[in-house]
Structure 1
Amino acid sequence: MNTDVVIAGAGPNGLMLACELSLAGIRPLVLERLPEPAQENRANGLVGQVVRMLDRRGLYERLTANKDTPRPAPGFVFGALPIDLSVLEDNPLYLLQVPQRRIEQMLEERAVELAVEIRRGHELTGFTQGVDGVSLQVSGPAGPYSIETRYLVGADGGHSVVRKLAGISFPGVTTDDTIARTAHALVPAELIDPATGGLDIPGYGPIPPFLHHRTERGLFVYAPLPGAPAPLISTMEWNEQGAEGPLTFAELRASAQRVLGVDIAFGPPDGQGPHLTRKLTGGNTRLAERFRDGRVLLVGDAAHVHSAIGGPGLNLGLQDAVNLGWKLAADVLGTAPAGLLDTYESERRPAAERVVMSSRAQSALIAPGSAVTGLRELVTELLGDRRGVRLIADLMSGADIRYDVGCDHPLAGRWAPDLDLADGVRLAELTRDGRSHLIDFTNGDWGYPATVGLPGSDVPCTALLLRPDGYVAWATDAPHPDAQSRASLLAAVQRWLG
C-alpha cells in the first residue's frame, strides 16, 4: 500500500503528530507494536507551554471536562526547591494533573475523529530510503507486509527502532548511581494533613504533596493524584544497592525510612488496580545527532531522553509534534517554501538542549550531601529575586524559546500571547483549526484576509501573523498598513507559508 506519512509509535507524541497532520489535510498511518495501550503511567501531568498549546487545539477542555481556561500555577519546584510564581505578573508556568494514560486515550479518540488509521500490533522491522519515499517492512498479526510512504516519522520512544535503523547516533550519558522506587500505597489516615493534603509525620514534620522533598540522604515524593487508586509514594537514593527482582512494599518502606529517617507504615492499596510498582536504576541523558535523515524524522523521546525531574518530557515532545505537523503537511501537499522542513530541527533541537541542561541542573540540586546543601542554599537566594524566578519559570515552561523567524519585533518568534478577538472569541478558539492566521488590531487593509482583534492599551502590537503551531511569524507596531509593513508581511508569508 502507499501512504503519505507513516508514524511509528502511538504514544502521546505520535498521536499528537497524527492529529496535527490531519488538521492540515494529511491522513497519516500510525503503526504501534503493542497490541493494546500501555496501562502504566509514565507521567502524571503536564507542565509548561504544552498546557496552553492543548487549549489552542480544544484538547484542554477534553482533559479537564470543563470549559475553564488554563490558569498559571502559583508555585512549583526546581530541583526540589520551592518557587513562588505569584511574584510574576505574567507567570508562564501552567500545570495540569492528568495521567499519561488519559492523555493517550484522549489523543487517540481525537485522531480517530480525524480519520487517522491506527494499527496496533504492527511493528516496523526495517526500511530503505529512496529519492521519493521510504519502503517499510512491517510485521503484523497476519504476517509481514510492505508499505510505501513519502515520509517516516519515529515516535517510538527512547529505544527508537526508527532512529537505530536510520543510523542516527544517540550520544549522551548513562548513569547507574541512583535507584528510583515508585508505587501506589495507602498511608495511615492520621498522617494526612487535611489543610494541605500532604503528610505530617511524627518525628519528622510536614511533607507537602506533589513536590520533590529532598534530604541529605535522598528524595521523597508523596502524590495523592486525583482519580488514582491510591497516592503515589516515590523515593530516590544514590549509591544504594537495590534488591533484585520486582519492587516490594517492604523494600519501598525501607527506602523511605533511609531517606526520611523515620518509618511510615504504608502498605498496598485496596482493589484490583492497576496498581503501579516500579523500580528504575540509573538514567539516560541523550540527544540524537540529528532529528532528520532524508525522509525519516524523529519526535519526542526518539530524539531526546533526559531526567523526568520537573516534568519536561511531554512538554518538549508534544511541542515537537506540533512544530513538525504543519511543516511536514505543507511539504507533502507541495505548498511548503524552500527549507521549511529543515526548520524543524533548527528550531526544536535548541529547545531540547535547554531541557537537557535544566534536567542536569536539577539532578545536581537533588543529590545528597552537605556540598549540595550549600549549593541549594545559594540557589534558594537566587530564587528569592524576581529575576531568578522569571529565568527559571521561562526555562521550565519553555517560554524562553524564540525561533529565528526573520522579523525583529519583540513578539516575533515567540509563543503568541493570549489575545481577545472580535465577537468575544479567544485566540485559543481561533487556532483550533491548526491553520495560520493574520490578526489585525488596526481595521486596515493588509492585502490578506485578517481576523479582527480588539484594540486596547494592553495589545502588544498592531498586527501579527500566527503560525499554525502558535508562534508569531511576524508582527508590527505600524499604526496602519503602509508600504513598508505590507512588504515585511509579504516576506513573512513567503518565508513560512509559501
Structure 2
Amino acid sequence: MHDVVIVGAGPVGLFLACELGLAGCSVVVLERELEVGGPGRVEPLGMRGLFATSLGAFHRRGMLRPLLAASGVPDEPGPDLEAAGPSPLRGGVGHFAGMVLDPAKVDLAALPFRLPSPAPDSLLTSLAAIESVLSERALKLGVEIRRGVTVSGIAQDDEGVVVRAGEQEYAARWGVGCDGGRSVVRRLAGFEFVGTEPRFTGYAMLATLADPEKLRPGISLTPAGAYIQMRTQGHIGVMDFDGGAFDRSQQPTRGHLQAVLRRVSGTDVTLSEVHLASTYTDRAMQTTAYRQGSVLLAGDAAHIHSPLGGQGLNTGLGDALNLGWKLAATVRGHAPDGLVDTYTRERHPVGAGVLDWTRAQAAVMTPGPHRQALQGLIRDLIETRDGTTYVFGKLSGSSIRYDLGSDQPLVGRSAPDFRLEDGRCLGDLMQDGRGVVLDFSTECRLRDAATGWQGRLRYAAGAAKNDLGLGAVLVRPDGVVAWAGDRDVDRKAFERAAGQWFGSAGI
C-alpha cells in the first residue's frame, strides 16, 4: 500500500510527487499518456509562462538552475545579490485582456517585501522542460511513475482509497487528482463543479501561412475578437466570441481555422497547411471543495478557466506546493488536527480569484458596442504606474496573502529570499523541504525553542543583509511566512505559531 497515489504526471502532479517524496512518503503517479513530451508539450504549442511565486518555489527546492537549463536559458551570472534594495524586473510582465504591460511602469518599491533573489520574475518555458526537470527529481526521490495507465474507478473506505486502472488496483492512504480540466478523478469521486459558461472558443495552431505579412505581430484586438501572432513563425492564436460553440470535442479542419482567422483578423490571410491545432474555451469552473474524504484535487482538476494572463499553470503549482507538505505531515503522523483542511481554506479563494481575473478579461474583450469604451477605460488605468503595478502584482502572485489570523503584514505571504551576512539565503535553507526559523540575531534567542520541532524545522541565526525590520521569522515548507516577530522577539508567540503549523513539540 502506498501513502499517496497521484493521477496525472503533468507539472502539478509531478511537483506534488516531489514534495511528498522529499518528505519520505511512498508515492505512485499514474499517467494516461504513454509517451513523454508530445507535440502539445514542446515549443511552440507547449510554451508556458512561469511567474515569480512558481520560480521562487523551484529556487527553494534547488531546481531553478536545472529548469533554466532545460528552458534554454544561458548559465550566466545572476543579479548582484549584494546590492541594496529590490532587484530589477527581469523578463516580460504580461498583459491584461491583450493590453501589454510596460515593465518600466512597475513600481518595485510598492511591491510587498521584495528582496533580491536568483529567481527571475518570469520565464517562458515549455511543459516538456518543466516535466523533464520534475520527473528526474521525482525518480531520484523514489517516486514511481507509471505511464499508459487509464483510471476507470475510485473507491474509498476507512483505510484510504483504491484506484482502479484496467486490471490493476492501486491502494493508498490518500489519492490526489492532478489529471487536468476533464479530470476523471473529479468525476468519479463526486466533486461538485460549478461556474460560468464560455464566451469564446480559442484556437492555438502551428501553420504555414502563404502571406504572414497580413497579420500584425503580437496581440491584436479586433471588432470580431482577438488574434495573436507569436514569435515562432506560423504560431497563431485566435479568440472567436461564438459562445464556446467549437470546443475540444471537435477537431478543427484547415478550412475552419482559415475561416475563423480571416473573420477575426479582418484579412484574407491564407493557411497553406496546418501542422498542429488545438481548441479551448473560457469556461470558468471550480469545485466547491478540494477534498472529499481521502481524495483531493489540485490544478486544473480543481479549477478551469481561460489561459488569459497565463495563470493556470502557476495556480496549479501553487496548489501542489501548498498541499504537499501538509499531506506529507499528515502521512508522517506529526500534523496538527485539521492541517489538510487548510489546503482548501487557503487555495480555494486563490482559485476563485483567478477565475474572476480571467472572466474580467473575457468581458473586456467581448465584441459589442460597449467594448471600445470599456477597453479605453481599462487601458487608461493600466498605463498609470499604480495600475501597471496592480496588474503585475496579480500576475506574479506577489499580491497573494493567506489569512493566517495575524495582523503582521508579512504573515501569510510568500517569504522574500532573506540573505544572512554569512552568505546563506532562505532558498538554500529550504531545499530539504523543512520549515525554517530565521533568527536575525547573534544571541540565538530562539535556538532552544526551535529544537522542540527538530526534524521538522531548520534553525538559522545571524544578522541579515536586510531583515525588513524584523527580529525573526518562521517560514512554512511552502515558503509562506507563518509568523514574524519584531526586534524584541516573543518566544511564546513563536512557540504557538510553530505548534499551530508543525504539531506538538517533541513528537
Bigger mean CA deviation after superposition, 55-64 or 38-47: 38-47
Q: Matched residues in 1 for 2:60 and 2:391: separation?
A: 24
Residue segments in structure 1 that go unaligned for 5+ positions in a row: 192-200, 270-274
- 5 Å-filtered alignment, 1:117-128, equals 117-128=144-155
Show the counterpart of 1:257.
262
Q: Deviations over 1:217-240 (max 9, x none)?
A: 221111125xxxx54111112239
Are the aligned partners of 2:436 and 2:459 in contact in 1 as well (CA < 8 Å)? yes
Give the % identical residues: 37
Equivalent residues of 1:354, 1:395 under 8 A apart: no
The alpha-carbon deviation at position 389 of structure 1 amounts to: 2.3
Tell me if structure 1 keeps the 8 A contact 2:97–2:308: yes
Output the CA distance in 1 between the equivalents of 2:289 and 2:416.
31
Q: Does the aligned pair in 2 maintain the 1:358–1:396 contact within 8 Å?
A: no
Please give the alpha-carbon distance, in whole angstroms, between the structure 2 residues aligned to 1:472 and 1:102. 29
1:116 lines up with 2:143 in the alignment: yes
**Residue pair 2:202, 2:240 contacting (<8 A) in 1 also:** yes
What is the DSSP-based 3-state SS (H/G/I as helix, E as strand, rest coil) of the residue aligned with 1:36?
A: coil
> 1:291-310 alignment to 2 at 5 Å?
291-310=290-309
Q: What is the alpha-carbon distance in structure 1 between the residues aligned to residue 433 and residue 425 of structure 2?
A: 15
Matched residue, 1:463: 472
Q: State whether structure 2 residue 278 is matched by structure 1 residue 278.
A: yes
Aligned twin of 1:55: 59
Q: TM-score normalized by structure 1?
A: 0.86
Q: CA deviation at 1:396?
A: 2.0
Corresponding residue to 2:96 among 71, 74, 78:
78
1:223 maps to which residue?
230
User: In terms of mean alpha carbon deviation, does 384-393 or 238-247 score higher?
Assistant: 238-247
Does the CA contact (< 8 Å) of 1:61 and 1:67 recur in 2? no
Distance 1:460 1:355, change over 3 A: farther
By how many angstroms is 1:486 displaced?
Answer: 0.5
CA shift at 1:245, angstroms? 6.5
Is 1:475 the counterpart of 2:475? The answer is no
Asked whether the equivalents of residues 211 and 269 of structure 2 are also in contact (C-alpha less than 8 Å), the reply is no
Q: What residue in structure 2 maps to residue 382 of structure 1?
A: 381
The counterpart of 2:201, out of the listed 164, 179, 193, is 179
Equivalent of 1:129, from 156, 163, 176? 156
CA displacement, residues 446-486 of structure 1 (integer Å, 9 cap, x when unaligned): 1226223543456342211111101101111124x4xxx10
- CA 1:357–1:322 in structure 2 vs 1: closer, same or farther (change >3 Å)? same
User: 1:187, CA displacement in angstroms?
Assistant: 5.6
SS of corresponding position for 1:424: coil
Mapped partners of 1:190, 1:220: distance in 2: 13
Change in 2 beyond 3 A, CA 1:45/1:426: farther
Superimposed CA distance per residue, residues 237-271 of structure 1 (whole angstroms, 9 cap, x where no aligned partner): 223987996434454344333333334456448xx
Count of residue pairs the alignment pairs up = 463
Q: Secondary structure at the match of 1:404?
A: coil
Query: Offset of 1:277 from its aligned partner?
Result: 1.8
Superposition map of 1:327-406 within 5 A: 327-406=326-405
- The alpha carbon displacement at 1:352 in A equals 0.3
Taking a change above 3 Å as real, the CA distance of residues 257 and 124 of structure 1, as seen in their structure-2 partners, is closer
Q: Which of 228, 233, 237 is residue 234 of structure 1 equivalent to?
A: 237
Paired residue for 2:108?
A: 89
Determine the C-alpha separation between the residues in 1 that align with 2:414 and 2:297: 23
1:163 maps to what in 2?
186
Match for 1:232: what amino acid? H
Q: Distance in 2 between matches of 1:373 and 1:185?
A: 31
Matched, 1:101 2:112: no
Alpha-carbon distance between aligned partners in 2 of 1:97 and 1:55, rounded to the nearest angstrom: 16
Q: 1:402-481 maps to which residues of 2 (within 5 A)?
A: 402-444=401-443, 445-446=445-446, 447=448, 448=450, 450-456=459-465, 459-479=468-488, 481=489
In structure 1, give the amino acid aligned to 2:412: G
Deviates more, 1:48-57 or 1:356-365: 48-57
Measured in 2, the distance between the counterparts of 1:33 and 1:98 equals 23
- Partner residue, 2:83: none
- Deviation of 1:353 after TM superposition, in Å, equals 0.6
Q: Partner letter of residue 185 of structure 2?
A: V
Of the structure 1 ranges 79-88 and 469-478, higher mean CA displacement relative to structure 2 is found in 79-88
Structure 1 partner of 2:453: none
Deviation, 1:68, is 5.5
In structure 2, what is the Cα distance between the partners aligned to 1:236 and 1:46? 19
Q: Would the aligned equivalents of 1:216 and 1:373 in 2 still touch at CA under 8 Å?
A: no
Q: Secondary structure at the match of 1:97?
A: strand
Cα distance in 1, alignment partners of residues 312 and 246 from structure 2: 26
> Within 1, Cα distance between the matches of 2:168 and 2:271?
51
- Find the aligned partners of 2:188 and 2:250 in 1 and give their Cα distance: 32
Name whichever of 103-112 and 320-329 sits farther off: 103-112
The AA in structure 1 aligned to 2:266 is: G
| Superposed displacement of residue 370, structure 1 | 3.5
Q: 1:174 to 1:488 in 2, by over 3 A?
A: same
Q: For the structure 1 residues 377 and 128, does the alpha-carbon distance in structure 2 shift closer, same or farther, using more than 3 Å as the test?
A: same
1:305-357 Cα shifts (integer Å, max 9, x gaps)? 01111111110001100100000000000010111111000000000011001
TM-score calculated relative to the size of structure 2: 0.84
Residue among 214, 217, 221 paired with 1:207: 217
CA distance in 2, matches of 1:422, 1:466: 19
Q: What amino acid sits opposite 1:419 in the alignment?
A: F
- Range with bigger deviation, 317-326 or 116-125: 116-125
- Cα distance in 2 for partners of 1:327, 1:242 equals 40
Alpha-carbon distance, 1:54 to partner: 1.8
| Residue number in structure 2 paired with 1:198 | none
CA apart distance, 1:412: 0.6
Give the counterpart letter for 1:343 in structure 2.
Answer: T
8 Å contact 2:418–2:464 — kept in the other structure?
Answer: no
Residues 131 and 96 of structure 1: is their aligned pair in 2 closer, same or farther, counting only changes over 3 Å? same
CA contact (8 A) 1:416 1:471 kept: yes
Q: Distance in 2 between matches of 1:97 and 1:189?
A: 27
Paired residues of 2:402 and 2:412 also in contact (CA < 8 A): yes
Report the secondary structure of 1:107's partner residue: helix
Within a 5 Å distance, the mapping from 1:63-74 to structure 2 comes to: 63-65=67-69, 66=75, 71-73=89-91
Is the contact between residue 75 and residue 86 of structure 1 (CA under 8 Å) also seen in structure 2?
no
Q: Partners in 2 of 1:433 and 1:138 — Cα distance?
A: 33
In structure 1, how many angstroms separate the alpha carbons of the residues matched to 2:155 and 2:50?
37
Cα distance, 1:374 vs structure 2: 0.6
Flag the 1:35–1:76 CA change in 2: closer, same or farther, 3 A. closer
One-letter identity of the residue aligned with 1:182: A
Structure 2 letter corresponding to 1:397: S
- Residue 278 of structure 2 aligns to a residue whose secondary structure is strand
Is the 1:185–1:268 Cα contact (8 Å) retained in structure 2?
yes
